[in-house]
Amino acid sequence: MPNGAAQLDTRIEIVTPENIAFQYRVAGPFRRLPAYLLDAVFRALIIFAGGLIFGLTLGFSGLPGLSIGLILILWFALSWFYGGLFETFWNGQTPGKRLMRIRVVSIDGQPINGIQAVLRNFLREVDAQPFYLFQVGLLSAMMNDRFQRLGDLAAGTMVVVEEGHWLRGLTQIGDPEVARLAAQIPVNYLPKRSLARALSAYVERRGSFAWGRRLEIARHVAEPLREKFNLPPNTNLDLLLCALYYRTFITERQDEEPIVPSGSPFAEPKNPYAFAEAKPWRSPTC
């Protein structure tokens, strides 16, 4: 984490040499285990299909020993090269990882190369000890904030969650406290475009943040607003931002129309004046 700040959740920030910051959500063991089990099922299905084909083609030809040998070769290849090949050519994903929406990247946030992919998969045999209970790998993952097993540490990789596409439009807020706080916001208060964009981004993303992260983010914007609206010191700052979002985008006003930036709140504008050129948009009745 930058500046030595304490990590509040599984999100980490990586700053490139070009001083560009990227945020990733690290995949923990309980997110990676289903992906591993799915890949194990896929490998078993491939071996079963291969065995069926070899048995039918070679068994009737009087070469049952050759079919067994080919099945063993297929099992060996899948055991040692399945993960490495898929992660090399599928940009850090196997079929199981793709279904679970996780991906292997290097510790600097870049795509992994073939050497990294093969190395981390070869060392899975060490992480699987003892008796394929993966206690070595689990212990290693518990000792660092990126959940890296020994294979990841040796290859310089980590597994991250692929962020889904954010929903566009209005986010519904069902907490009754939000409506109560919205009623205490002055009727004539209209946030600036930059604040409106920040509100939209925060409310859409808050569901993926841990509680501590929500408070950390909300405090910088909501505390000055709380003082401006003369609200009690114990006001929930997270819900205050939701209340302002509710008043700005959802509650229909008689004399003013809130302006919502077009497109996703996380997309970079095409030019510095993109938001200034956005057309007014009337919010629907709640």
Nearest to 105 by CA among 139, 164, 37, 155: 155
pLDDT at 151: 95
Q: Which helix (H) or strand (E) holds 7?
A: none
d(CA 224, CA 241): 11
Instruction: Reduce the DSSP state of residue 245 to 3 states and report it.
Output: helix
Query: Which tops the pLDDT comparison, 85 or 173?
Result: 85
pLDDT tens across 124-135, in order? 999 999 988 899
Long-range contacts of 232-240 (CB under 8 A, 24+ apart): 235/181, 236/177, 236/181, 238/206, 238/214, 239/175, 239/177, 239/178, 239/181, 240/181
Give the pLDDT mean for 172-201. 80
pLDDT tens across 238-261, in order? 888 888 888 887 764 434 444 444
pLDDT at 147: 93
Structure tokens at 138: 């689990």
Instruction: Reduce the DSSP state of residue 221 to 3 states and report it.
Output: helix
Query: What ranges do the domains of the chain cover?
Result: 2-161, 168-286
pLDDT at 245: 86
Query: Which tops the pLDDT comparison, 17 or 43?
Result: 43
Query: Which tops the pLDDT comparison, 251 or 71?
Result: 71
